[in-house]
Amino acid sequence: MKINIKTIAFVGALALVPAFAFAQAKPSKKAATAATKPAKPAATHATNGIVKSSDATSLVITKSAKDAKTTSFTIDATTVTKGIIAPGARVAVRYRTEGGQNIATAVTVSKAGK
């Protein structure tokens, strides 16, 4: 009995079909764990300095009274404040960065400036 090469190729191809079907049916472990992991909360940062200006929605500080470089923060309803924030007061600020803005999460006045 003579077997044709086309017949052998056809039978070989039929043998591979179930292998491809099972390979795509299994989800990978990485895909399964990535779908179940909760999103990471935004990282928080901390800095301190002297209040240059402040109002109900913003705070601007410098590292020292002679420093011209300022850092700005957005203050919202969730910002926790301790003490009276006034120009010249030394403050510690905890904040997170969202969309290129520094959003203050806590502002603590440590001592009044001169």
23 with 49, same domain: the answer is no
Is 71 a residue whose pLDDT tops 90? yes
- Domain residues for 81? 44-111
Average pLDDT over residues 91-104: 94
- CATH code of 57's domain: 2.40.50.320
65 with 100, same domain: the answer is yes
- pLDDT grade, residue 97 (50/70/90)? very high
**How are the residues of the chain apportioned to helix, strand and coil, as percentages rounded to the nearest 5?**
25, 40, 35
60 with 84, same domain: the answer is yes
Is 113 a residue whose pLDDT tops 60? no
10 with 49, same domain: the answer is no
100 with 55, same domain: the answer is yes
Q: CA-to-CA distance for 40 and 35, rounded, in angstroms?
A: 13
pLDDT tens sequence across 9-27: 777 776 766 666 666 655 5
55 with 13, same domain: the answer is no
Rounded to 5°, angle at Cα 98 from 92 and 102: 30
- The single-letter DSSP state of residue 28 is P
Domain count, the chain: 2
pLDDT tens sequence across 23-43: 665 555 665 555 566 666 778
Can you point out the beta strands (E) in the chain?
44-54, 58-62, 70-74, 80-82, 90-98, 101-111
